[in-house]
């Protein structure tokens, strides 16, 4: 349905009268707080929205019904009426034993799936006892140096029933092989495993910087996992294309969406060049977005994301299966928005952000804990974060209708403006030669750096208010319990690694590593070799070293 021209004229006349009378009288009595109002992406926000802001809106083409193309209103016809979003709390610290205990606790509290955080050595492909790993054990996630650690991490957790998300990128195929091998030891075949591998190397070059190999071989590895998953693991999402870390690095909402979608489209191109059929792999691609403080912009971002992806899959790449058009995504509240000052008020920020994720139609959600600007979450803090989701689900009523804000003049206008801005970025990326040339040119990195600088300048000048930081400041020191890791965990981890190397069949390890080396230097898919390495108890560092020798190590050019 497009708006009738005669009705639009009537609305325009009424709005002009309102501007000259009602609004002018109101402003004379109560002037507006600022000269301009903008979203966090700098998009101007009007004082009132009407049908004049959507003169060309075609309901069926632009919105449609939930569960139908273009999926602006959601990928499922019943929304959350049939099934709530998955409450998937991100967790990992110290040893596999400690993290296993936290997973069991979260499952007892109502967590619906696991989400694994790995420590920095693991993310960079080092064993815990590597010189490069010194001082970093277990600080930002769990240490996984071998299949033995993975077995302990998943001990007592039925991998055939629980879905697992793993936030790992450069060594993602190796960690995935550890998980597949651990499941096999539980008697669960890979075809029955359900979960998600982040495996998004492009955003590492763009934002998070946890890369190991150069872009070309790294993209080859991602394509290997997409191919392997489409052939052997029908329930597994082989890539979670992530805007979260792009946003945490300082991007705007528009940049987050544009760069994430550009990355996703690049993975599709590589898989197609491999000879894969788009309808064989596209349904198992998923996304991961940040939900920040600007409530309406965040919801608009998520709705625009679904519409753009559906259009590109259907019209640009010719996908025939409707499931290939669906964008399914996980959301996490914005860690970068949390303050060490007055940490309890982070509960309020997280609740607002989580509500935006739900109203935007997320398939799963992590809510950050109030203490994450200070330390890894305590049990008390993570329980409150979990309860935040449960209150939204069970008490707020927002899950009773599908896309309850759909049709809002403001929301639909912001959705359209976000979409237009994303396509503008697509054109700029294409003009530079595509995603990889844009990375090499430092385009993404510079755009994020500029946005981050602008945001911080606004905060420093008190033009952007952060409660507790630059306004409503309290001098009180935080008085909340802080998580303390087992100080003996590092020693236990080193002892386990040492014992593993003594007990395993060294000849079998070497044989599997030799097989991996041959696969890396050929066009063969590396996943079968990685699984064999895992089963022989080759360590993460040993496997990654073979791949470093085959592929080289990436060094980023300085961005000025």
pTM of full prediction above 0.85: yes
Residues 6+ apart with CB under 8 A from 284: 226, 229, 230, 234, 236, 237, 238
* β-bridge partners, 87: 365
- For residue 364, the SS3 value is strand
Mean pLDDT value of segment 12-27 = 92
Query: Among the residues of 143-190, which ranges form H helices?
Result: 147-153, 172-185
Q: Which residues of 343-376 are buried (b: 16+ CB within 10 A; e: fewer)?
A: bebbbebbbbbbbbbbbbbbbbbbbbbbbbbbbb
Distance CA 324, CA 338 (A): 36
Report the pLDDT value the prediction gives residue 198, as an integer from 0 to 100.
Answer: 97
- For residue 109, the SS3 value is coil
Give the gyration radius of the chain's Cα atoms: 24
pLDDT tens-place string over residues 133-170: 999 999 889 999 999 999 999 999 999 999 999 999 99
Q: Percentage of residues in the chain with pLDDT exceeding 90?
A: 86
Report the pLDDT value the prediction gives residue 219, as an integer from 0 to 100.
Answer: 98
Residue 521 pLDDT greater than 70, yes or no: yes
Specify whether the CB–CB gap between 225 and 527 falls below 8 A: yes
Residue 351 pLDDT greater than 90, yes or no: yes
Q: Which residues of 384-402 are buried (b: 16+ CB within 10 A; e: fewer)?
A: bbbebbeebbeeeeebeeb
- For residue 487, the SS3 value is coil
Range in 47-56, 188-197, 470-479, 489-498 with the lowest mean pLDDT: 470-479
pLDDT tens-place string over residues 250-280: 999 999 999 999 999 999 999 999 999 999 9
Residues 6+ apart with CB under 8 A from 18: none
Report the pLDDT value the prediction gives residue 524, as an integer from 0 to 100.
Answer: 96
Residue 560 pLDDT greater than 60, yes or no: no
Residue 222 pLDDT greater than 90, yes or no: yes
What confidence category does residue 83 fall into, taking pLDDT thresholds of 50, 70 and 90? very high
Specify whether the CB–CB gap between 207 and 262 falls below 8 A: no
In the DSSP assignment, the letter for residue 434 is S
Report the pLDDT value the prediction gives residue 143, as an integer from 0 to 100.
Answer: 96
Residue 113 pLDDT greater than 60, yes or no: yes
What confidence category does residue 559 fall into, taking pLDDT thresholds of 50, 70 and 90? low
What confidence category does residue 110 fall into, taking pLDDT thresholds of 50, 70 and 90? confident
Report the pLDDT value the prediction gives residue 546, as an integer from 0 to 100.
Answer: 98
Specify whether the CB–CB gap between 232 and 191 falls below 8 A: yes
What confidence category does residue 33 fall into, taking pLDDT thresholds of 50, 70 and 90? confident
Distance CA 353, CA 359 (A): 10
- Other C-beta atoms lying within 10 Å of the C-beta of residue 460: 10
pLDDT tens-place string over residues 354-368: 999 999 999 999 999
pLDDT tens-place string over residues 186-207: 999 999 999 999 999 999 999 9
Mean pLDDT value of segment 406-413 = 96
- Other C-beta atoms lying within 10 Å of the C-beta of residue 276: 18
Report the pLDDT value the prediction gives residue 558, as an integer from 0 to 100.
Answer: 62
Report the pLDDT value the prediction gives residue 479, as an integer from 0 to 100.
Answer: 76
What confidence category does residue 2 fall into, taking pLDDT thresholds of 50, 70 and 90? low
Residue 422 pLDDT greater than 80, yes or no: yes
The chain-wide mean pLDDT, for the chain, equals 94
Tell me the CA distances in angstroms from 209 to 86, 367, 376, one per residue in order. 29, 24, 21
Half-sphere CA count of 204, side-chain side, radius 13 A: 25
What confidence category does residue 556 fall into, taking pLDDT thresholds of 50, 70 and 90? confident
Ramachandran class of 237: left when φ > 0, alpha when ψ lies in -120 to 50, beta otherwise: beta
Mean pLDDT value of segment 544-550 = 98
Report the pLDDT value the prediction gives residue 7, as an integer from 0 to 100.
Answer: 87
Distance CA 62, CA 37 (A): 26
Range in 2-11, 161-170, 426-435, 456-465 with the lowest mean pLDDT: 2-11
Q: Compute the C-alpha angle 401/359/295, nearest 5°.
A: 145
- Which long-range contacts (C-beta less than 8 Å, at least 24 apart) are formed by 403-409? 403/66, 403/73, 403/74, 403/79, 403/303, 403/359, 403/361, 404/359, 405/299, 405/359, 406/63, 406/72, 406/73, 406/303, 407/63, 408/49, 409/49, 409/50, 409/51, 409/53, 409/54
Report the pLDDT value the prediction gives residue 480, as an integer from 0 to 100.
Answer: 81
What confidence category does residue 477 fall into, taking pLDDT thresholds of 50, 70 and 90? confident
Domains of the chain, each with CATH number or no CATH = 81-87+160-456 (3.20.20.240)
Q: Percentage of residues in the chain with pLDDT exceeding 70?
A: 99
Range in 166-175, 228-237, 479-488 with the lowest mean pLDDT: 479-488
Mean pLDDT value of segment 7-25 = 91
Residue 114 pLDDT greater than 70, yes or no: yes
Residue found under tokens 């403001």:
410
């Amino acid at each position: 349905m497009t708006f009738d021209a005669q009705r639009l004229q009537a609305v325009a006349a009424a709005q002009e009268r309102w501007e000259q009378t009602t609004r002018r009288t109101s402003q004379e009595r109560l002037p507006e707080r600022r000269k301009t109002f903008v979203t966090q992406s700098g998009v101007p926000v009007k004082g009132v929205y009407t049908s004049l802001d959507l003169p060309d809106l075609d309901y069926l083409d632009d919105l449609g019904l939930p569960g139908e193309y273009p999926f602006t209103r959601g990928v499922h016809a019943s929304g959350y009426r049939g099934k709530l979003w998955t409450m998937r709390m991100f967790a990992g610290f110290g040893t596999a034993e400690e993290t296993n205990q936290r997973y069991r606790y979260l499952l007892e509290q109502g967590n619906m799936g696991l989400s694994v955080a790995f420590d920095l050595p693991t993310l960079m492909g080092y064993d815990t006892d590597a010189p490069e790993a010194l001082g970093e054990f277990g600080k930002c996630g769990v240490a996984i140096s071998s299949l033995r650690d993975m077995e302990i991490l998943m001990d007592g957790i039925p991998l055939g029933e629980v879905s697992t998300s793993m936030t790992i990128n450069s060594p993602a195929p190796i960690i995935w092989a550890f998980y597949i091998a651990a499941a096999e030891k539980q008697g669960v075949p890979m075809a029955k495993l359900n979960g998600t591998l982040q495996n998004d190397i492009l955003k590492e070059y763009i934002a998070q910087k946890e890369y190991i190999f150069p872009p070309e071989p790294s993209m080859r590895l991602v394509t290997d996992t997409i191919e392997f998953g489409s052939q052997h693991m029908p329930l597994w999402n082989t890539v979670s294309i992530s805007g979260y870390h792009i946003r945490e690095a300082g991007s705007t909402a528009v940049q987050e969406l544009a760069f994430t979608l550009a990355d996703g489209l690049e993975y599709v191109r590589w898989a197609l060049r491999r000879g894969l059929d788009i309808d064989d792999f596209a349904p198992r691609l998923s996304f991961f977005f940040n939900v920040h403080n600007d409530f309406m912009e965040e919801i608009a971002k998520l709705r625009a994301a679904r519409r753009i992806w559906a259009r590109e899959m259907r019209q640009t790449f010719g996908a025939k299966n409707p499931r290939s058009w669906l964008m399914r995504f996980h959301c996490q509240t914005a860690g970068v928005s949390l303050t060490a000052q007055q940490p309890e008020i982070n509960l309020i920020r997280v609740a607002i952000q989580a509500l935006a994720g739900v109203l935007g139609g997320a398939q799963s959600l992590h809510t950050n804990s109030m203490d994450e600007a200070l330390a890894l979450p305590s049990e008390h803090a993570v329980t409150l974060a979990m309860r935040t989701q449960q209150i939204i689900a069970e008490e707020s009523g927002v899950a009773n209708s599908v896309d309850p804000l759909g049709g809002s003049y403001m929301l639909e206008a912001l959705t359209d403006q976000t979409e237009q801005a994303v396509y503008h970025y697509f054109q700029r990326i294409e003009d530079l030669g595509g995603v990889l040339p844009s990375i090499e040119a430092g385009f993404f990195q510079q755009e994020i750096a500029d946005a981050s600088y602008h945001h911080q300048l606004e905060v420093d000048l008190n033009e952007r208010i952060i409660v507790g930081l630059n306004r409503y400041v309290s001098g009180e020191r935080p008085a909340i319990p802080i998580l303390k890791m087992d100080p003996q965990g590092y020693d236990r981890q080193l002892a386990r690694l040492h014992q593993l190397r003594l007990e395993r069949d060294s000849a079998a390890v070497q044989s599997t590593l030799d097989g991996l080396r041959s696969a890396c230097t050929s066009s063969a898919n590396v996943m079968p070799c990685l699984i064999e390495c895992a089963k022989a108890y080759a360590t993460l560092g040993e496997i990654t070293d073979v791949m470093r020798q085959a592929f080289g190590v990436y060094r980023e050019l300085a961005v000025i």
